Amino acid sequence: NFLTNHNATMRELLIECCRRLDKREFTCTNIDRNHTVPSTKIVCYKCALKIFKELVFQFRISMKQNDILPITMRNRENGYY
């Protein structure tokens, strides 16, 4: 998987997603569609999981084709994985 192949941890993925959220490259529509949500916003555990799931999905969409592993997944349609 991506994290293993890049020697990254789940925490590092979260930090990267938060960085992109703060740069407005990613959005969190699960909280408030009308306002920009900073990564410092405090939410409950259940909401945090939903937000993380949404951010990871956006991360997956933003990946370069060569970073997608296994290779068989590179040819799949963009959709919910």
Sorted by where each begins, the domain ranges of the chain are 2-75
Q: Which residue has the higher pLDDT, 38 or 18?
A: 18
Band the pLDDT of 39: cuts 50, 70, 90.
confident
CB neighbours of 8 closer than 8 A, spacing ≥ 6? Answer: 2
Report the predicted TM-score, pTM, of the whole model to 2 decimal places: 0.70
Cis peptide before 70 (omega within 30 of 0): yes
Summarised one tens digit per residue, pLDDT across range 48-71 is: 898 899 999 899 888 777 766 655
Summarised one tens digit per residue, pLDDT across range 21-37 is: 999 898 887 666 666 67
